[in-house]
């Protein structure tokens, strides 16, 4: 029965992708997220409560991946609310995430394209990841998608003290704790609480 559920999630994700996106290279950053990360998370971790931080127009269809689950989205920009979860979207700074949720709430948290852009400064970054740690359940998965541009001065995940509370996760389909995508400087770092 488990094998059928896992196969179903992979096929379901492929269907969602096929109707929403154009062709990309296999290890393009969005392709990695949509065709490798999401199906694996859904099939093997089966999260019931999800928090997706950072939204833009090309991510609106991500809501379909988590249909039938409690999906929360968060972005600091009020104009991006329309691309978030239709039922549970928060417009606020990610550093304030703890004020919206009780501890041990989420099974899966994705923060993609926020570090170094809307999330800057050591104090704010440490506060954010300390708060994310608090609102995640034990065994919950945290995935950080970040850009490693030379001209973008960011604190890389391995330099963030609050992330040391998590265990690094060797993500099975990619066989690594940190994956660099083919289209340059986008990376995914994997953690488990």
CATH code (residue 106): 3.40.50.150
Q: Is the pLDDT of residue 83 over 90?
A: no
Distances, alpha carbon 90 to alpha carbons 33, 56, 80, in Å: 22, 14, 10
Please check whether residue 71 lies inside any domain of the structure. yes
Compute the distance between CA of residue 165 and CA of residue 180 in angstroms, rounded to an integer.
Answer: 23
Q: Is residue 60 a part of any domain in this protein?
A: yes
Domain that holds residue 143: 48-192
Q: Is residue 163 part of a domain?
A: yes
Tell me the pTM. 0.89
The verdict on residue 62 lying in a domain is yes
pLDDT the model gives residue 61: 86
**pLDDT digits 0-9 by tens, 124-139:** 999 999 999 999 999 9
Residue 123 lies in a domain: yes
Residue 5 binned pLDDT confidence (cut-offs 50, 70, 90): confident
Q: Given the DSSP bridges, would you call strands 106-112 and 136-147 parallel, antiparallel or unpaired?
A: parallel
Average pLDDT, rounded, for the chain: 89
Q: What is the pLDDT of residues 42-73, one digit of tens each?
A: 999 999 999 999 988 778 889 999 999 999 99
- In the chain, how many domains are there? 1
Pairing of strands 89-91, 186-192: unpaired
CA distance 69 to 175: 27
pLDDT given for residue 13 in this prediction: 82
Residue 21 has a pLDDT of: 66
11 belongs to a structural domain: no
More reliable by pLDDT, 80 or 73: 73
> Does some domain include residue 169?
yes
Domain for residue 6, yes or no? no
């Amino acid at each position: 029965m488990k094998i059928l559920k896992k196969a179903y999630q992979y096929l379901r994700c492929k269907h969602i992708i096929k109707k929403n996106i154009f062709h990309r290279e296999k290890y393009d950053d969005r392709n990695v997220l949509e065709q490798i990360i999401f199906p694996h998370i859904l099939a093997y971790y089966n999260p019931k409560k999800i928090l997706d931080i950072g939204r833009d127009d090309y991510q609106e269809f991500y809501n379909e991946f988590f249909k039938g689950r409690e999906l929360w989205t968060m972005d600091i920009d009020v104009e991006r609310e329309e691309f978030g979860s239709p039922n549970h979207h928060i417009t606020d700074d990610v550093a304030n995430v703890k004020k919206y949720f009780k501890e041990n709430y989420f099974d899966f948290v994705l923060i993609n394209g926020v570090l170094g852009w809307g999330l800057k400064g050591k104090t704010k970054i440490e506060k954010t990841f300390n708060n994310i740690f608090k609102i995640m359940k034990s065994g919950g998965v945290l995935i950080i998608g970040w850009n490693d541009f030379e001209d973008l001065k960011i604190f890389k995940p391995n330099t963030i003290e609050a992330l040391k509370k998590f265990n690094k996760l060797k993500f099975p389909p990619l066989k690594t704790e940190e994956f660099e995508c083919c289209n340059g400087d986008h990376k995914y770092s994997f953690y488990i609480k």
